A and B are shown apart, each in its own frame.
Chain A
Amino acid sequence: MPEPVLAAVVPEVIRDNLPFLAAGFAMTLRLAAVGIVGGSLVGLLLGLLRHAEIPVLSRLAALYIEIVRGTPLLVVLFVCYFAIPALAGYRTTAVAAASLGFVLFIAAYLAEDVRSGLRSVPSGLVRAGLATGLTRWQAFRLIVLPQALRRIIPPVFSQYVRLLKFTSVASVIGVRELTGSALLVNAREFQPVAIIATAAVTYLVVCSGLSLVGRLLDARLSIRT
Chain B
Amino acid sequence: MSGSPLIVLDRVCKQYGTTPVLRDCSLAVARGEIVVVCGPSGSGKSTLIKTVNGLEPYQSGSVRFDGEEVGARGTDLPRLRARIGMVFQSFELYPHMTALRNVMLAQVHALGRSRAEARERALALLARVGLTERAEAYPADLSGGQQQRVAIARALALDPVAMLFDEPTSALDPEMINEVLDVMTALARDGMTMVVVTHEMGFARKVADRVVFMDEGRIVEDRPAAEFFAAPATERAKTFLSKIIAH
Contacts and interface: CB of A to CB of B under 8 A. Distances in A.
B115 to A, nearest CB: 14
Contact of B140 (A133, A138, A150, A224): A224
A142 B86 CA distance: 19
Contacts of B86: 128, 131-132
B138 interface: yes
A138 B109 contact: yes
Contacts of B53: 131
Contact of A132 (B95, B138, B155): B155
A225 B55 CA distance: 25
Interface in B106-124: 106, 109-111
Interface in B76-91: 77-86, 88, 90
Given A224-B95, A224-B138, A225-B140, A133 B90 contact: no
Interface centre among B77, B79, B105, B111 (most CB of A within 10 A): B105
Interface in A107-140: 122, 124-125, 127-135, 138
A223 B96 contact: yes
Contacts of A128: 86, 88, 92-94, 151
A224 B138 CA distance: 9
Nearest to A132: B106
A125 B154 CA distance: 13
A143 interface: yes
Contacts, number: 76
A134 B110 contact: yes
Contact of B81 (A133, A150, A223, A225): A133
B197 interface: no
Interface residues of B, number: 31
B158 interface: yes
Given A133-B106, A224-B140, A225-B95, A124 B88 contact: yes
Given A142-B109, A147-B95, A224-B140, A133 B82 contact: yes
Interface string A72-112: 00000000000000000000000000000000000000000
Given A124-B88, A133-B158, A150 B96 contact: yes
B140 A129 contact: no
Interface in A38-67: none
Interface of B: 53, 55, 77-86, 88, 90, 92-96, 105-106, 109-111, 138, 140-141, 151, 154-155, 158
8 contacts: A124-B88, A124-B92, A129-B105, A130-B55, A132-B85, A132-B154, A135-B78, A225-B95
